[in-house]
Amino acid sequence: MKRDIITIDEDKCTGCGKCIPGCPEGALQIIDGKARLVSDLFCDGLGACINECPHGAMSVENREAEVYDEKKVMINVVKQGENTIKAHLKHLKDHNQTEYFNQAVEFLKENNMSVPELSNKDNLPCGCPGNLTKKIEREIRCAENINQKSNLENWPIQLALLNPNAPYLKNAELLISADCAPFAYGNFHSKFLQNKVLIMFCPKLDSSIEQYIDKLSDIFKNQHIKSITLVRMEVPCCGGVEKIVTRALEQSGKNIIIKEYVISISGEIT
């Protein structure tokens, strides 16, 4: 079957091993000094390992691959101990993989093993910190920019609602943003939005990823887009914004340079 699965650029990979903790399923190993995908069966294609790689050697591709099997994955996971079991369950939960999560829990119960209790305070090496509870401390600031005007020039802005044939898309400079970024970065309007058409979505919570790829591909192919600016959060799951746009570009056959900005949870450009 054809599905999303990790691919590794051997030229970029240094064998540092930082991707390994991001894959509690055991699909990755360091072999002959390089990270290797040792089993299609174990790779869920969610890409939690991607942002652990400091060299940009990992990406997701859609290709023919063996069907992912959660119960076979669990046989491999439980051998690695309680912390790996917990990391795997949290990985599935953070990516809203309810069916796989329930299969994993069922496997543990069938084998008379305890089901770990998951908490947002768990600091696990699953590469999914996006939903960890965090209080952001800030200095008290004056309200000097309280009357700042909006630079929004189009509606709707959610990709799910956007008409790919909307006239304002023709010859547009696109700003494609993760849902959280405008709230995290205080100068979003003045820094990014001016004279751009805004498109927003969440690669983690939205369920229409394949439709998003098709819709963006139609826009790139038919609307003569001048430029693409991406703004996303630093959390690993938000790396899906770039992957979705890249896949849509490949599907459209267009070659448009992407300029990407990553925003920290504290509101800085990293």
Per-position pLDDT tens, the chain of length 270: 788 888 899 899 998 888 887 777 778 878 778 888 877 777 888 777 887 888 889 888 888 887 888 888 888 788 778 877 887 888 777 767 788 889 989 999 999 998 888 765 444 444 444 545 555 666 655 555 556 789 999 999 999 999 999 999 999 999 999 999 999 998 999 999 999 999 999 987 887 788 899 999 999 999 999 999 999 998 877 888 888 999 999 999 999 999 999 998 889 998
**pLDDT (0 to 100) of residue 141:** 58
Could you tell me which CATH class the domain 167-263 is placed in? alpha beta
**pLDDT (0 to 100) of residue 125:** 43
Which positions ≥6 away from 98 have C-beta within 8 Å? Answer: none
Pick the closest to residue 58 from 4, 13, 3 (CA basis).
Answer: 13
CATH fold of the domain at 2-129: Alpha-Beta Plaits (3.30.70)
Q: b/e per residue, 166-180, with b = 16+ CB within 10 A?
A: eeebeebebbbbbbb
Q: b/e per residue, 213-225, with b = 16+ CB within 10 A?
A: bbbbbbbbbebeb
Between CA 249 and CA 258 the distance in angstroms is 10
Parse the chain into domains and list their residue ranges.
2-129, 167-263
Pick the closest to residue 130 from 27, 191, 51 (CA basis).
Answer: 51
Between CA 180 and CA 70 the distance in angstroms is 31
Task: Indicate the helix (H) or strand (E) that contains 58.
Answer: strand 58-64
Q: Are 43 and 5 within 8 A, CB to CB?
A: yes
